[in-house]
Structure 1
Amino acid sequence: MRWFERRKSPDDFAVRYDPSLTRTIAIAVSAGLVERNENQTISLSDSGVALARSIWANSEVMQQEKAFLSRLPNKISQKAIREIMDW
């Protein structure tokens, strides 16, 4: 969160690729929740959007995750992601 607030610090944790992310994306693709784009990015499919809206509407589930996501910018560019990963 500090990164997006422009308060990054040398003692912040380094963000690294987690191999389980590949498996998670593969499961989401096969379940029809996300789609791989031509530029190798991932987008929610219509089914993924519907599921996300359903989760967001239920105040009893994923409360901490929703609180965190609410604090993030609405759009995060690929450039910002590369900067975080290269930090």
Structure 2
Amino acid sequence: MVNKNLVYVWGINHWRNISSYRSRIDLKNHIYQFIKLNACELTLRLSRIYSFLCDHDHTNTVKQSGQNEEVQGEGDEDEISSLVEA
């Protein structure tokens, strides 16, 4: 995984070496897009983990056709690990 700060610092250090205004704008947009995509990916992973934990609570109560039915959650740690690494 690429460090966002490293990419940003690389872009700022090379900013002065780019003579074309258009090239500078392209570089800036590329850096911001890279950081934004990584932030969105992290948010997506966290929301998946949160959803998994809510869905696999050991005392989940599910409403089906007006009745409450107890559902036993599995709490599988391997599945949580796969969500984090995905």
Q: TM-score, normalised by structure 1?
A: 0.25
Highest relative contact order (Cα 8 Å, sep 6+), 1 or 2?
Answer: 1
Q: Which has the higher helix share?
A: 2
